[in-house]
């Protein structure tokens, strides 16, 4: 594949979304176990910290993709800007479809999420004190934004993703982090939490 500005941007966005998916799946699983009062998942401080760290990292990646900021070199808004080189490779109908998705994303990508990234994560300025816990208030919004991100890349890509760069992320049979966690829980407790989660 001949590299172009568009396929390089879309390849970067695809990789970011792949990492984001793994983190959100892990946070969702731990959150589900906590909400379901499952013993290991409700009382394990280490797993709560893992979920907290992955949640914070997911916020950074969501902001990388959805924050319309000139310092964000991989954000989706670049696909729709007339002054940018990427738009020349896209059909006008494709650009319109991306704009619709970005308009809808504003329902979920709020100033509060940006504030968490800019204040708490970047500068450790906490409004309500330092909270290293299973505090993931905006998890539903992050899940929705991840799905919108996948939709945008699918709309824009049309074969533009460089598969040689993303071979390790395409059609991955399972999330390696989540699989390892579920196996550990099964080994320790004898309970197949992954099956319980699928059947929820």
Count the Cβ atoms, other than its own, within 10 Å of residue 21: 20
Cβ neighbors of 22 (< 8 A, separation 6 or more) are 175, 176, 177, 178
Q: pTM surpassing 0.95? A: no
| pLDDT in 10s for each residue of the chain, 200 residues | 567 788 888 889 989 999 999 999 999 999 999 888 888 888 888 998 899 899 999 999 999 999 998 777 899 999 998 877 788 888 889 999 999 999 999 999 999 899 888 887 765 666 655 555 556 889 999 999 999 999 999 898 875 566 565 555 555 667 888 999 999 999 988 888 888 887 77
Sign of CA dihedral 192, 193, 197, 200: positive
Can you say whether residue 91 is alpha, beta or left, with left for phi > 0 and alpha for psi between -120 and 50 degrees?
Answer: beta
Q: Which residue, chain included where needed, has tokens 């309970």?
A: 191
CA 119, CA 123: separation in Å to the nearest integer? Answer: 5
SS3 call for 198: helix
Half-sphere exposure of 46 (CA within 13 A, CB side): 3
Lookup: tokens for 39: 């013993």
Are 41 and 193 in contact, with CB atoms under 8 Å apart?
A: yes
Predicted local distance difference test score (pLDDT) of residue 23: 95
Instruction: Compute how many other C-beta atoms are within 10 angstroms of the C-beta atom of residue 132.
Output: 11
DSSP conformational letter for 91: -
- Residues 72 and 80: their CA atoms lie apart, in Å, by 14
Best CA proximity match to 149, nearest among 62, 33, 48: 62
The set of residues, in sequence order, having a beta carbon less than 8 Å from that of 72 and lying 6+ positions away, is 63, 64
Query: What distances in angstroms separate CA 67 from CA 14, 61, 100, 113, one per listed residue?
Result: 16, 10, 16, 10
pLDDT at position 134 is 59
Give the pair of three-digit tokens for residue 197: 């989660």
């Amino acid at each position: 594949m001949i590299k172009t500005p568009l396929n390089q941007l879309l390849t970067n966005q695809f990789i970011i979304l792949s990492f984001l998916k793994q983190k959100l799946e892990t946070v969702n699983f731990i959150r589900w176990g906590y909400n379901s009062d499952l013993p290991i998942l409700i009382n394990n401080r280490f797993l709560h910290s893992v979920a907290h760290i992955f949640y914070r990292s997911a916020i950074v990646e969501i902001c990388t993709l959805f924050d319309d900021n000139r310092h964000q070199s991989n954000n989706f808004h670049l696909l729709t800007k007339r002054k940018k080189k990427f738009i020349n490779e896209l059909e006008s109908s494709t650009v319109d479809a991306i704009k619709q998705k970005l308009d809808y994303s504003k329902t979920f990508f709020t100033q509060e999420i940006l504030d968490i990234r800019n204040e708490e994560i970047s500068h450790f300025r906490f409004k309500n004190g330092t909270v290293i816990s299973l505090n993931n208030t905006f998890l539903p919004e992050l899940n929705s934004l991840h799905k919108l991100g996948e939709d945008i890349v699918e709309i824009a890509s049309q074969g533009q993703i460089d598969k040689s760069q993303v071979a390790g992320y395409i059609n991955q049979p399972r999330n390696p982090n989540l699989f390892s966690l579920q196996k550990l829980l099964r080994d320790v407790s004898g309970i197949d939490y992954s099956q319980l989660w699928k059947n929820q």
